């Protein structure tokens, strides 16, 4: 029963925040007030029962906290100044929680997403603020999810809200000519949240909010709000297709299992089916962007019943397209894996050699790991072993280090 309250509160959080900001402005103060109202609901509803109009209840409590806060902040100011700062004079009767017509029930989630992903904010601030204001997670939950101290997250959110206030960012959708670029930032933030959840999900930390589920939930909302947008659909498809692997990613001892070695019977067929349908539809309808291409590649992987049946030529063709539209050296590295499968390891090693001149990736452990993999394919065991050992020294991930040392150990002479 208490879990359903938690889920309901997360759904309601952005709607309550949107209603308040639309009425009063002061995004930063509203966000604090909504947090307090959510906390009040968490403690009171289990005891006194859930109100008939939950959203109205939260709006009432939050707006009371907000007006208290604004009044105490301007204690020296005259009462009229405080009233002028708010759209509705405080002398009128308290808002009727059941009065949805006055408060409106427009879905402000999209506006909130744009605001929380404002380009002046740093990426960690965008992530934290999005998870708080749109995702409805508490500061503690966000801190636990990212494995950082709670004070750090609190600081990031405070500073983020101050920056938004200083920039006088309006509570409205960005102007038409900026919207596409701003949407790209929103997609990137959701992608980072998903990645963070996916990367840490194999660790021993079980008490954390599920960031991958949260990212998927937010991406679904965005897809509903911006239908027919190729990259939005593409990102959601990519998340679903990637998350499908989760049951097979870790071995019984907690070690990482790479894609080629995963037990595909454990892959989530429902997520795969949904992701494949989504990307197929999206590719047919709209011009193609990087998330769609990555989703298409994931779909080809997920549709192969075994690693050996993977359609590598199709994957290579998709990577060729992806490399043309992004300048990301990691893409080039992933493409090299497909090159090895289609044209052999020597061709892949040529790609690696070219990447060594790229500062962004030349010292990255994945470059050495890929080199080791291709050298092993080519039969040069001693060189492969050296490359895996170098990669193992360069990574800071303990599971990854274990995996790379294991690859090196398999190539020990004798």
Q: Please say which residue, 63 or 294, places its beta carbon nearer to another protein.
A: 294
Q: Please say which residue, 152 or 163, places its beta carbon nearer to another protein.
A: 152
Q: Shortest distance, CB of residue 250 to another protein, whole angstroms?
A: 8
Q: Shortest distance, CB of residue 193 to another protein, whole angstroms?
A: 12
Q: Please say which residue, 156 or 389, places its beta carbon nearer to another protein.
A: 156
Q: Shortest distance, CB of residue 39 to another protein, whole angstroms?
A: 21
54, 40 contact by CB (below 8 A): no
Q: Shortest distance, CB of residue 353 to another protein, whole angstroms?
A: 23
Main-chain dihedrals φ then ψ at residue 256, nearest 5 degrees: -70, 135
Question: From start to end of 233-332, where are the E strands?
Answer: none
Q: Please say which residue, 53 or 152, places its beta carbon nearer to another protein.
A: 152
Give the three-state DSSP class for 250: strand
Count CB neighbours of 151 within 10 A.
10
Q: Shortest distance, CB of residue 265 to another protein, whole angstroms?
A: 21
Can you tell me the distance from the alpha carbon of 48 to that of 36, in angstroms, rounded to the nearest whole number? 18
Q: Please say which residue, 16 or 128, places its beta carbon nearer to another protein.
A: 128
| Binding interface with another protein (CB under 8 A) | 122-124, 147-149, 151-156, 196, 198-205, 249, 256, 365, 395-401
Q: Please say which residue, 254 or 313, places its beta carbon nearer to another protein.
A: 254
Q: Shortest distance, CB of residue 256 to another protein, whole angstroms?
A: 6
Closest among 41, 184, 213, 64 to 113, alpha carbons compared: 184
For residue 146, give Cα distances in angstroms to 86, 150, 203, 336.
36, 10, 12, 31
Instruction: Quickly list DSSP for 108-166.
Output: -HHHHHHHHT-TTS-HHHHHHHHHHHTT---HHHHHHHHTS-HHHHHHHHHHHHHHHHH
Closest among 243, 313, 240 to 279, alpha carbons compared: 240
């Amino acid at each position: 029963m208490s879990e359903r309250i938690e889920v309901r509160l997360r759904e309601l959080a952005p709607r309550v925040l949107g209603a308040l900001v639309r009425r009063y402005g002061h995004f930063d103060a509203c966000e604090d007030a909504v947090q307090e109202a959510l906390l009040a609901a968490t403690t009171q509803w289990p005891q006194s029962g859930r109100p008939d109009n939950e959203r109205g209840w939260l709006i009432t409590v939050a707006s009371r906290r907000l007006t208290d806060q604004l009044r105490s902040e301007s204690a020296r100011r005259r009462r009229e100044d405080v009233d002028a700062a708010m759209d509705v004079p405080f002398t009128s009767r308290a808002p009727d929680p059941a009065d949805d017509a006055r408060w409106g029930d427009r879905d402000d989630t999209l506006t909130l997403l744009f605001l929380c992903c404002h380009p002046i904010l740093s990426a960690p601030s965008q992530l934290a603020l999005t998870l708080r204001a749109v995702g409805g997670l508490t500061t503690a939950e966000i801190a636990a999810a990212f494995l950082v101290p709670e004070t750090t997250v609190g600081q990031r959110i405070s500073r983020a809200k101050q920056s938004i206030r200083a920039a006088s960012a309006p509570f409205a959708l960005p102007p038409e000519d900026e919207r596409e670029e701003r949407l790209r930032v929103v997609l990137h933030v959701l992608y980072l949240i998903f990645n963070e959840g996916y990367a840490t999900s194999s660790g021993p930390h079980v008490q954390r909010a599920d960031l991958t589920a949260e990212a998927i939930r937010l991406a679904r909302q965005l897809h509903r709000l911006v239908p027919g947008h190729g990259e939005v659909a593409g990102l959601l498809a990519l998340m679903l297709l990637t998350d499908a692997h989760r049951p097979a990613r870790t071995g019984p001892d907690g070690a990482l299992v790479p894609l080629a070695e995963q037990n595909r019977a454990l892959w989530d067929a429902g997520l795969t089916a949904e992701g494949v349908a989504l990307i197929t539809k999206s590719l047919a309808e709209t011009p193609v962007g990087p998330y769609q291409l990555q989703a298409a590649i994931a779909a080809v992987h997920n549709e192969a019943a075994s690693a050996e049946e993977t359609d590598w030529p199709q994957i290579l063709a998709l990577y060729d397209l992806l490399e043309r539209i992004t300048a990301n050296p990691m893409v080039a590295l992933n493409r090299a894996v497909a090159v090895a499968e289609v044209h052999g390891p020597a061709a892949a090693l040529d790609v690696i050699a070219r990447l060594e001149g790229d500062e962004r990736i030349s010292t990255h452990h994945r470059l050495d790991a890929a080199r080791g993999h291709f050298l092993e394919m080519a039969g040069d065991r001693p060189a492969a072993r050296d490359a895996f050992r170098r990669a193992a020294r360069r990574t800071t991930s303990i599971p990854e280090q274990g995996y790379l040392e294991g690859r090196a150990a398999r190539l020990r002479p004798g």
